[in-house]
Chain A
Amino acid sequence: MSDVDAAAAFSDDEQRALACVLDLLIPSSNDGRMPGAGELGLAVHIDRIAQREPGLRAAVAAGVAALDELARRRGAAGFTALAGPDRLAVLKEVAAAQPGFLPGLIFHTYVGYYQEGRVLEGLGLDPRPPFPTGHALEPFDAALLEPTRQRGKLYRDA
């Protein structure tokens, strides 16, 4: 895709609000093992994809604008100015009113989150792609086959 075709990047304010949303979608775990998606910097990942996918960009921009608007109606300076529990309540209300807001965002958040090295380590995995190290597996235990061996011929002659 050429630069001409690419959608505009999110503004700094939109990115800050988006990071808050991401931390609500995947918060950090209580034991500290798993980072929050916003804390991990995934707003940049979402921004990059949204520049290639205008539909996603429009849905996220509209959703973030609605979050700010609802927060202001409730007396805050904006969505990011709300306390944590209030952010969650506002997000749920906006998600219900704008059903197109979250599905695409969640999809790309999950994809970005579960390929991050810190997340893989939190899952107990080596932070690496499969190749070139691969995985070790125990050799095949032929003793498991004894019941099948005792069945005798199972195919039909033809």
Chain B
Amino acid sequence: MAEDSVDVLIIGAGAAGAAFAWSLAETRMNILCLEQGGWMDPARYPTAGFDWEIRGLGDFALSPNTRKRPEDYPVNDSESPIAASMFNAVGGSTILYAGHFPRLHPSDFRVRTLDGVADDWPIDYARLAPYYAENDRMMGVAGLAGDPAYPPKQVPLPPVPLGKLGETIARGFNSLGWHWWPSDSAIATRAYEGRAPCINLGPCITGCAQGAKASTDVTYWPAAVRRGVRLATRCRVREITLGADGRADGALYYDAQGALHKQRAEIVVLACNGIGTPRLLLNSRSALFPDGLANRSGLVGRNLMFHPYGMVVGGFPGPPEGYKGPTGCGLMSQEFYETDLSRGFVRGYSFELLRGMGPVSTALWGMAAGRLPWGDGHHAAYDDVFARTAGVLAICEDLPELHNCVTLDPELTDGNGIPAPRIQYRLSENSLRMLAHGVARGKQVLEAAGAEWTRVESPLRVAGWHLMGTARMGSDPQRSVVNEWGRCHDVRNLFIIDGSVFVTAGAVNPTCTIQAFALYAADRLQKNLANGLD
């Protein structure tokens, strides 16, 4: 890699980095993105083989601690009931995400004003709305207009089919008079911008061999590269460096052979997710920033938010054939989304449909649940479960708390010897009450839909998919790390555009908001180039 200076250096080629790069490429600036992973080959995704389910527990596992690919970094999550997950490749964690694409609600940006907790965002829903729409178009989002839980919006593609399973659960919601709506899904339900239509393979969370799911390696990146953005893979950044003027002047990174390089840049943009970004800042210490770069507030790594998930699985007498159709995307209920203090907690949660399991997953789940004996009773017990389960996930809003944090582990390192992140996290009383409410209502709706039995797992440990809050945005440099468009208060040419900047978490999957913010930040950066980024 040439050491010539670039105009903009983006670190991380996932959801945010891809959207930002594509948008900023309009300027024709010299833009380079460094990504520690490589390009994925969809032909090698697990669904093309009989071992597709077990590979989801191996080289395509959610946790980097299980996967242990060379491009992964370990995460010490032993002090958290929720295990963090992320993926390192061009496309980042969109390679493994389910494609759920709900927006935040207008109220999510005003939690202090409306509900007296946490802080308001320095931007609002109306500000992000045009960027949400642009992102929906770029990613190719499926859904249905008219959801009364949202302000009016259009959706480019028809919704993902519900199947027998989804319709069974939908009737359960209807019988209780509860809201539900087809999920907004980043899945091409018909051919879209060169992508093949979804064929209901099922396991979206081990990569989409069909190319229908909108991971950014098949959406933004081809378009960004056509616009002239350069993307360098297998480049792992060790630290951001500072010039004598206190501005970021580039990054030190290791190439695939382990050689250390310096890449100079006029502007540096971090898009490494809510754990990777604070890790990189904390690893970038200097005389000017002895506690980590851009950390004069002391908030880098603080206020870590996940979405605590409560899972309820039910067994149904008829076969709902739940293994057919996209894993996570089907329907969403926001009956309990907005604050109602009579429920015993502030803020709220969504329900997401959980489709059934494949043959191997059924066996392993049955084994863990104590529902599947070995020996003579095995086949009868298996037949009671396979293709007969459906579930709901309560995705709860997690409020920011200073003690929930990402720090550097004193011993654990990645393959290049860079200190790894350590997570310390505990669930608040509010979150625990919300989870209990969600689990009880989840059982209620499954029983209303005809479930003969239910089983609960809460909090769901593997569900650390959403990483937010660890470099929050705000107008006060004492109480936030970046301003309303992602510029660090302490380093004027350093930007953060991933989920780290979230002030609060809402109760929906964050990817479309992360990307809408990245597009907004790129737009603001363009507009402020002429005045020195002020």
Contacts and interface: CB of A to CB of B under 8 A. Distances in A.
Contacts of A136: 200, 324
Interface in B308-342: 323-325, 334, 337-338
Nearest to A31: B379
Interface stretch (A8-16, A56-64, A73-81, A103-111): A103-111
B20 interface: no
A144 B174 contact: yes
A120 B202 CA distance: 16
A93 to B, nearest CB: 14
B162 A111 contact: no
B98 to A, nearest CB: 15
A153 B167 CA distance: 23
B507 interface: no
B209 A131 contact: yes
Interface in A111-131: 111, 113-117, 119-120, 123, 125, 129-131
Interface residues of A, number: 48
B528 interface: no
A9 to B, nearest CB: 21
Contact of B199 (A116, A133, A138): A133
B114 A158 contact: yes
A90 B180 CA distance: 54
A24 interface: yes
B369 interface: no
Interface stretch (B24-32, B101-109, B415-423, B457-465): B101-109
Contact of B163 (A26, A102, A137): A137
A99 interface: no
B378 A27 contact: yes
Interface in A28-55: 29, 34
Interface in A126-154: 129-142, 144-145, 147-149, 151-154
B507 to A, nearest CB: 12
A26 B107 contact: no
A88 interface: yes
B68 to A, nearest CB: 13
Interface in B142-158: 144, 146, 148-151, 158
B243 interface: no
Contact of A110 (B124, B202, B367, B376): B367
A140 B161 contact: yes
A158 B125 contact: yes
Given A34-B379, A138-B163, A144-B167, A158 B364 contact: no
Contacts of B375: 24-25, 27, 88
B364 A110 contact: yes
B106 A158 contact: yes
A33 B167 CA distance: 30
B17 interface: no
B487 to A, nearest CB: 25
Contacts of A102: 374
Nearest to B106: A158
B109 to A, nearest CB: 6
B338 A156 contact: yes
Interface in B256-289: none
Interface in B182-233: 182, 198-203, 209-210
B47 interface: yes
Given A125-B359, A137-B163, A144-B167, A130 B146 contact: no
B359 A141 contact: no
A116 B54 CA distance: 13
A115 B54 contact: yes
A5 interface: no
B362 interface: yes
Contacts of A154: 148-149, 179, 334, 337-338
A3 interface: no
Contacts of B364: 107, 110-111
B179 A114 contact: no
B200 A134 contact: yes
Contacts of A137: 161-163, 200, 324-325
Contact of B106 (A134, A141, A157): A157
A39 to B, nearest CB: 14
B324 A135 contact: yes
B95 interface: no
A102 B54 CA distance: 19
A153 B151 CA distance: 8
Contacts of A149: 146, 148
Contacts of B109: 158
Nearest to B196: A132
A131 to B, nearest CB: 4
A135 B114 contact: no
Contacts of B150: 155
A145 B333 CA distance: 12
B415 to A, nearest CB: 18
18 contacts: A102-B374, A111-B360, A113-B363, A117-B50, A129-B50, A130-B203, A133-B199, A138-B163, A138-B164, A140-B162, A145-B180, A148-B179, A151-B179, A153-B148, A154-B179, A154-B337, A155-B105, A155-B149
